[in-house]
Amino acid sequence: MKHTTVAASANARRLLARARTAATWIVAGSLVAGLIGGLVGFASITAANAAVASSKPPPRAFFGLGPATKRKIDGRPYFNWGGSPGSHLSDEVALVNFGVTPVTVTVFVTNAVSTPHGGTAFLSRGKAHGSLAAWVKLHMPHGSPTIKLAPRSKVFVPVTAIFPKNAQPGDHVGAIVASLTSLIQSKNHAKVHLVQQVADRIILRISGRLEPRLSISGLHVAYDDPLNPGATAPAKLSFNIVNSGNEVLGGKIAVSVSGLVGATKTSPAVISVPAMLPGGSDAAHVTVDGVYPEFLETGKVTIRPLVPTGQFDQGLTPYSGQVSFWAVPWILLAIVILLVLLPFGLWYRRRRRRRAGSRVRPGHASPVISGGTT
């Protein structure tokens, strides 16, 4: 496959614009990126300078990749595939060098994994096994994983995928990654391998039993009861959002607190949940202000699920979780107790007096009979 000059087409300009705004800085070969549409960009040295003080500026490269059709960049935000167990498909990826110097990149397919905070990370080369890393093949020129991109050129690489008959239904996520490794020298003369990488995600949906489902776990509410019965206090809700289904899902979260007598307060902030992989989870903390202490309160969390751009799923319904907690107005409670106990105390005191009076009743002295001798 030969190099071709990059044409100033609309799609190419979009690729370059996205490249300038979606830069990914990677040191030591670890690629971490969120599930954002069309992560096609260039790798810059800026962040690497923060980590390694270099004696001389390392090379700056502008390269990217993205979906293509019939040797043209087609503007798709990412590789959105559908298939069934035992099926196969073909696609195409464009590798683009936007710079004025040649670059040699290594291209590979990898799998996505969940990060501790609900994000998505792509495994480095050689670390992914099974799933898309095993099912997808890049037909690189000369069968080599590396390719040299001439200045301002692009190369189109055919992509094929074969899905096994036992492929599990649901979403499988990975990425096609282009990686550039440079050798730089630090100020203390140590040699450091700088790895600049850019990726475009793959979302493959295998047909079968699809289960889009988000759940709330570990819901807890912290509330400091105000002494003033007419005052309010914030309710602090903590919980985990879990993607317990087999589809990639994100969503919008609404949080509310309702009292025993009907007052309801809702957090004005709407929390966005990133698109999480199946099995992924994230922790959230939300504060609802202005909650009156109404003895027994209920905190409720509702998630409106959202699918990534380009995905479609009918029948999605909101998911919710709730928990009850005590919010006691202590001064008001003390006043109520006094108002209840005071009449009872007065009644009880009068009753005791009556009983005491009934035991010692005023009356006549008993006659005395005396006897004598005659």
Please choose, from the candidates 320, 330, 114, the residue with its C-alpha nearest in 3D space to the C-alpha of residue 237: 320
Domain ranges in the chain are 4-206, 214-330
Q: Which fold has domain 4-206?
A: Immunoglobulin-like (2.60.40)
Residue written as token pair 């409720």: 300
**Is the pLDDT confidence value at 50 over 60?**
no
Distance in Å from the first CA to the final CA of the chain: 159
Can you tell me the distance from the alpha carbon of 64 to that of 110, in angstroms, rounded to the nearest whole number?
17
**pLDDT number for residue 329:** 76
Can you tell me the distance from the alpha carbon of 210 to that of 48, in angstroms, rounded to the nearest whole number?
42
Average pLDDT rounded to a whole number, residues 181-200: 84
Cβ contacts of residue 158 below 8 Å, gap of 6+? 90, 91, 92, 138, 139
Task: Give the 3-state secondary structure of 192-222.
Answer: EEEEEEEEEEEEEEECCCCCCCEEEEEEEEE
What are the CA-CA distances from residue 312 to residues 172, 177, 316 (Å)?
A: 15, 25, 10
pLDDT confidence bin for 79, thresholds 50/70/90: very high
Quick one: DSSP state of residue 190?
A: -
Residue type, 362: P
Residue 351 sits at φ, ψ, to 5 deg, of -65, -40
Joined tokens for residue 197 = 């990488």
Can you tell me the distance from the alpha carbon of 327 to that of 261, in angstroms, rounded to the nearest whole number?
12
Residue 285, CB-side half-sphere exposure with 13 Å CA sphere: 4
pLDDT confidence bin for 5, thresholds 50/70/90: very low
Please choose, from the candidates 287, 289, 298, 292, the residue with its C-alpha nearest in 3D space to the C-alpha of residue 328: 292
pLDDT digit string (tens) for 151-178? 999 999 999 999 999 999 999 999 999 9
Strand partners, 113: 121
Domains 4-206 and 214-330 share a fold: yes
pLDDT confidence bin for 263, thresholds 50/70/90: confident
**pLDDT number for residue 354:** 74
Query: What number of helices (H) and strands (E) belong to the chain?
Result: 4, 21
pLDDT digit string (tens) for 269-280? 888 998 999 999
pLDDT digit string (tens) for 13-38? 455 444 433 333 322 222 333 222 33
Can you tell me the distance from the alpha carbon of 275 to that of 248, in angstroms, rounded to the nearest whole number?
6
CATH class of domain segment(s) 214-330? mainly beta
Average pLDDT rounded to a whole number, residues 116-137: 94
Q: Is 98 helix (H, G, I), strand (E, B) or coil?
A: coil
Q: Is 6 helix (H, G, I), strand (E, B) or coil?
A: coil
pLDDT confidence bin for 194, thresholds 50/70/90: confident
Burial class (CB in 10 A: 0-12, 13-18, 19+), 98: buried
Can you tell me the distance from the alpha carbon of 308 to that of 35, in angstroms, rounded to the nearest whole number?
8
